[in-house]
């Protein structure tokens, strides 16, 4: 009988130790996942001004981040956006956004980066990449013609 009690005690202790170790591992994974999904910041510089943008957590944004830092000459279109066509394509997840907001940074199609500096409605589809946190002087910084824009991750 004493052997059975010792054996049961040993089994309970081993099971308890295993569960404790497993719970600690789960917490570590949860912490890592939390860190991974934290919003990253993008720094954009244009017209001598710096703007901070919060990146969307997506496959498209991850692919965009891999080519940073990057300086582009972006063309004006319709007096409300600047755009640049890449030679490479990005994975896209286009959606009907319906409303464009000043400060939106999106991908049109799979290869066209767009920064919007005015609010308006649209029927086009875009993949969201980021949004400039405070776009107050964005239109002034971009100007009315082509604009040189630098993108880099904030570390």
For 82-120, the pLDDT digits (tens) are 999 999 999 989 999 999 999 999 999 999 999 999 999
**Domain locations in the chain as residue ranges:** 1-37, 41-153
Q: What is the pLDDT of residue 155?
A: 76
**pLDDT at res. 120:** 98
Q: Which CATH number describes the domain made up of 41-153? A: 2.40.100.20
Tally Cβ neighbours within 10 Å of residue 142: 22
Interatomic CA distance for residues 8 and 152, integer angstroms: 60
* pLDDT reported for residue 26: 43
Give me the pLDDT at residue 40, please: 85
* Residues ≥6 apart with Cβ < 8 Å to 108: 83, 114, 124, 126
Averaged pLDDT, 73-78: 98
Residue of 92 and 5 predicted with greater confidence: 92
Q: Which phi and psi angles does 118 have, rounded to 5°? A: -140, 155
Q: Which residue has the higher pLDDT, 38 or 154?
A: 154
CB within 8 Å of 134: residues ≥ 6 apart: 51, 52, 103
């Amino acid at each position: 009988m004493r052997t059975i009690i010792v054996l049961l005690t040993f089994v309970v202790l081993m099971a308890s130790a295993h569960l404790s170790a497993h719970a600690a591992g789960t917490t570590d994974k949860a912490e890592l996942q939390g860190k991974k999904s934290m919003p990253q910041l993008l720094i954009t510089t244009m017209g001598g001004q710096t703007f901070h943008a919060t990146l969307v957590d997506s496959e498209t944004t991850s692919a965009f981040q891999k080519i940073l830092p990057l300086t582009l000459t972006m063309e004006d279109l319709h007096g409300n956006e600047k755009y640049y066509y890449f030679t490479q394509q990005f994975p896209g997840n286009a959606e009907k956004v319906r409303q464009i907001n000043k400060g939106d940074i999106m991908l049109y199609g799979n290869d066209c980066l767009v920064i919007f500096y005015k609010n308006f409605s649209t029927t086009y589809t875009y993949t969201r990449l980021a949004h400039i946190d405070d776009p107050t002087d964005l239109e002034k910084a971009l100007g009315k013609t082509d604009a040189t824009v630098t993108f880099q991750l904030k570390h």
